[in-house]
């Protein structure tokens, strides 16, 4: 583990405060009719760990101040995509979840059709924000950078949906580790990597040799996040998790602990994190925020 | 009515052939796991009038060959957004439609969760395609043009969802013409305008004075399209329409014929079309394809 870390919980708390403010500013910039507006705010503002925006900020922290508005827009956009996926995942025809972050899910609070449409519009809002002048204090960001961000986010969003389908198809089946990794690289890894890469193309302007290292970091941390999620689903209490624990087992889903045993899964999560830390070595102290977030993700309890 | 028209049905048939081919090329460029792949192809390749792509091609026909790949990508992207909206509209929690274009709707054929995810991925695929090099034979299109297209499409998609919500809210209510127009400018008009404007920024490179005239054309034709749809819902047979006729009345929806009477609604559709034709006068013969499509839309029977 790198020594270049700030206190992980402080770093994340600060990122959470920043993104909460920027999400609110972004949502307030839209005209949304009721009850859609209520559902959109419910889906977005309830909270959550805000890991993806925090990763955007942490990458930007390597080169503070470069294309800062593009980084802030990317952080908002990637979180809106994540929130859309949760609203749709929770729907009765999907996981039929009633509770998320200790609150009624979007369709429970606002009805099924409104929750569906809230998810739909969150996706297009994300792309609107990426191409907008939101948070732009001075000069406009180069269009080619923003277009790269659009490409990264759109591709990751498609991959996320493919991963969800692959995950549903794998239910009740005994899949290999290779198949499971392919599911998770799409389902959760792609959007986590996208958060990192959208910030990376903004702050390194798409040309720097830092990009491949950050891509490797994103891939490792994205997979580690899912392995950790599977572990937490088994070991965490429902109360701490804020959602129903043990759901994966109930649904007979393929998970890392089911595939390799709990202890092996923990070791694998650690190994992936070590790979992630290794990708940051060349950045030295400038990547301390990224290091901190990686530490947080490994040690999180929910 | 302008004299600068080709035979409307031929023009549309040719556009339909072109978009069918390009849609297939575009879909084939993606890796999609089953059953998602089947659902996506079902939602997209069943057919339909392809009005939005035809409008893209018709705008491009004013200046043939300029940024042709960007126009083709825009045509595919706007149709994918339209197809996503239909797949979600048909879902049980929305209109619960079993039939579309004479075929089982996406959720009837593939199940509800797959239809939901097919709609979801069609949206992100649309943005992927806009920013891609698909159909690019030679030089890349300027990033600022593509980014404008992304903005236009994302904004229109958000408006479409807002329009759907306003439409659902207006069910069973007697709304004013102003309110009804606001619903339709969002629900259907925005995406029709977007088709025109995405092609316009590509072929006029965002600077030409043609843009305001085409914007006016888009607004008039977009609203006319919806008025005509409302009229057809009353007068057309289910067989010709390929979907259940009279559904609006059953659902107690606000429509133009309900608001102003059938004959007045017909006169209003004609008036909006005349406004649309007037916006094209300055283009002379170069807008003959746009004229033809406008004629088709006014005279269509389904």
Q: What is the DSSP string of A268-289?
A: HHHHHHHHHHHHHGGGGGGGHH
Pairwise CA distance, residues B156 & B153, whole Å: 5
**pLDDT value, residue B240:** 57
Which of B256, B259, B285 is closest to B270 using CA atoms? B256
Q: How many CB atoms lie within 10 A of CB B185?
A: 18
Residue A197 has pLDDT above 80, yes or no: yes
Which of A40, A54, A31, A299 is closest to A199 using CA atoms? A54
**pLDDT value, residue A27:** 98
Buried b (16+ CB within 10 A) or exposed e, A163-197: bbbbbbbbeeeebeeebbbbbbbbbbbbbbbbbbb
Q: Select the more confidently predicted residue: A242 or B291.
A: B291
**pLDDT value, residue B78:** 98
Using a CB–CB cutoff of 8 Å, tell me whether B179 touches chain A. no
Residue A241 has pLDDT above 60, yes or no: no
Cβ within 8 Å of B, A 148-167: 150-151, 153-155, 157-158, 161-162, 164-166
**pLDDT value, residue A250:** 60
Residue of B nearest to A39 (CA): B165
Residue A235 has pLDDT above 60, yes or no: yes
Contacts of A113 in chain B (CB under 8 A): 93-94, 168
**pLDDT value, residue B1:** 41
Cα distance from A219 to chain B (closest Cα, Å)?
A: 20
Contacts of B144 in chain A (CB under 8 A): 143
* B104, β-bridge pairs: B99
Contacts of B171 in chain A (CB under 8 A): none
Cα distance from A283 to chain B (closest Cα, Å)?
A: 30
| Sign for the pseudo-dihedral over CA of A165, A166, A167, A168 | positive
Question: What band does A298 get if pLDDT is binned at 50, 70 and 90?
Answer: confident
Using a CB–CB cutoff of 8 Å, tell me whether A125 touches chain B. yes
Cα distance from A38 to chain B (closest Cα, Å)?
A: 12
Question: What band does A242 get if pLDDT is binned at 50, 70 and 90?
Answer: low
Q: Tally C-beta pairs within 8 A across A and B.
A: 138
Question: What band does A258 get if pLDDT is binned at 50, 70 and 90?
Answer: confident
Cα distance from A246 to chain B (closest Cα, Å)?
A: 22
What is the enclosing helix (H) or strand (E) of A103? Answer: strand A103-104
Using a CB–CB cutoff of 8 Å, tell me whether B285 touches chain A. no
- Alpha-helical runs (H) found in B204-260: 210-235, 238-241, 247-250, 256-260
| Residue B52 and residue B23 in contact, taking contact as beta carbons nearer than 8 Å | no
Q: Write out the two tokens for A90.
A: 């929770």
Q: Write out the two tokens for A4.
A: 């270049």
Using a CB–CB cutoff of 8 Å, tell me whether A168 touches chain B. yes
Inspect the interface and report whether the beta carbons of A125 and B158 lie closer than 8 Å: yes
Cβ within 8 Å of B, A 32-51: 32-36
Pairwise CA distance, residues A72 & A81, whole Å: 15
**pLDDT value, residue A245:** 57
Pairwise CA distance, residues B266 & B264, whole Å: 5
**pLDDT value, residue A46:** 85
Out of A113, A124, A166, the one facing B33 most closely (by C-beta) is A166
- Helices and strands in chain A, H and E counts: 15, 2
Contacts of A205 in chain B (CB under 8 A): none
Residue of B33, B119, B160, B202 to mutate, testing the A interface (most A Cβ within 10 Å of its Cβ): B33
Residue of B nearest to A84 (CA): B120
Domains of chain B: 8-299 (1.10.600.10)
Pairwise CA distance, residues A101 & A244, whole Å: 10
Mean pLDDT in runs of 10 for chain B (302 residues)? 62 93 98 98 92 96 94 98 97 94 94 98 98 84 95 98 94 89 94 97 82 93 91 72 60 82 92 94 94 87 75
**pLDDT value, residue B171:** 86
Using a CB–CB cutoff of 8 Å, tell me whether A259 touches chain B. no
């Amino acid at each position: 583990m790198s020594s270049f870390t700030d206190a992980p919980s402080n770093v994340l708390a600060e990122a959470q405060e920043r993104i909460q403010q920027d999400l609110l500013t972004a949502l307030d910039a839209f005209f949304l009719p009721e009850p859609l507006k209520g559902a959109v705010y419910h889906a977005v503002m309830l909270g959550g760990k805000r890991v993806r925006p925090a990763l955007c900020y942490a990458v930007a922290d390597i080169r503070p101040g470069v294309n800062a508005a593009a980084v802030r827009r990317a952080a908002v956009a990637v979180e809106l995509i994540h929130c859309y996926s949760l609203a749709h995942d929770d729907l009765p025809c999907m996981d039929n979840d009633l509770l998320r972050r200790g609150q009624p899910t979007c369709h429970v609070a606002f009805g099924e059709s409104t929750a569906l449409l809230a998810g739909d519009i969150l996706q297009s809002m994300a792309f609107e924000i990426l191409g907008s002048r939101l948070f732009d204090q001075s000069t406009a960001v180069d269009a080619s950078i923003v277009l790269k961000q659009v490409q990264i986010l759109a591709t990751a969003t498609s991959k996320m949906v493919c991963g969800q389908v692959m995950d549903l198809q794998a239910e009740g089946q005994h899949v290999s580790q290779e198949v499971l990794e392919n599911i998770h690289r799409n389902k959760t890894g792609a959007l986590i990597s996208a958060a990192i890469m959208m910030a990376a193309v903004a702050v390194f302007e798409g040309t720097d040799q830092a990009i491949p290292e950050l891509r490797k970091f994103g891939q490792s941390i994205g997979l580690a996040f899912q392995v950790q999620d599977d572990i937490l689903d088994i070991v965490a209490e429902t109360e701490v998790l804020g959602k129903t624990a043990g759901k994966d087992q109930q649904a007979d889903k393929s998970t890392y602990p089911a595939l390799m045993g709990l202890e092996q899964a923990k070791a694998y999560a650690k190994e992936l994190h070590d790979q992630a830390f290794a990708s940051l070595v060349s950045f030295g102290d400038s990547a301390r925020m990224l290091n901190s977030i990686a530490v947080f993700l490994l040690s999180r309890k929910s």
